[in-house]
Structure 1
């Protein structure tokens, strides 16, 4: 099989940069990825510092047609863009509508594989409704997840817990044990989210059209995927 060609939307985010690193470091399975970024400064960083392709295509301000043109010819798209705490309005224009536009762009150009980074328990309003500081964020994430599930894409929705900046542990919690783990340690390293994204791309049959909660734990990636 030819190496998979992957476009990363939100490549300049903390998770996005780690995903780029994972893909670049696995040339047997992945071609050089495309960084989809929202500023010229970010584009210059990826092109000049990391020596990889980068397109200046903001999912917030670009049309579906413009996003389609940017990702056409790729095999898979990862959506890890987010407002990053920059106001309620941008939660809806980036995390929600940006995601939907990216999904529609994939459908328009025949890209089937789509991996979305969402949030733990997004579908469960009782988990987040009373957390006022996160309510709008979760409303957007839940709606985006539902839009993706209703699409024709071979999606994987990843729902990580509290994201940390620690080094990769490489161990995860089985889906059936997530609720118990949430009570004691609701976190996962961003590096492990990036690792799991890469493994989902390598295991499309096992992970397509699935929603997978992610927390660190004591089981390998292969154990998690095998038990989905």
Structure 2
């Protein structure tokens, strides 16, 4: 009868997470992961083809959940804009919403933001910026379709502003804020950036 590999896999995942958090992906040692899991290095490869597959196993499910949630919130905001206009873009505390999700899965986001160099996830912040820029431009176009006057703006400046907004949300992870401090900071981000976005959209 085949041996249940679930327990071994769980030990590997726990040891891999600890190693990646402590050392980052590039400096993580398969030998130390194997020792932490109580098996040989060759035993690791029976569960994961590579070190990066281990890393992906830790972060990809959370990323998928975040992207799904992001798209759902994006659609809700888009529908609200179509109904009531520009005010809908500022009804939700987006930074607080994002920060709550991050701190529900803090270790995984710590891996993404601080430990992913050398993996396909190291441009994670850039991907988030692209998503946020695409979403914001879609909302602006929806406002213009309604007949609302949104002034023209320099797309390069717009990209840099979105990048700054995304980076602001990621900073508490890099600085190991506790949840309470991070959520307080998220409210500050909302207040700080919403004034600028309102001005850019001709609402101030």
TM-score normalized with structure 1 length: 0.30
- Pick the structure with greater CA Rg: 2
Greater share of strand residues, 1 or 2?
A: 1
User: Which structure has more helix as a fraction of its residues?
Assistant: 2
Which structure's relative contact order is higher, taking Cα pairs within 8 Å and 6+ residues apart?
2
Q: TM-score, normalised by structure 2?
A: 0.33
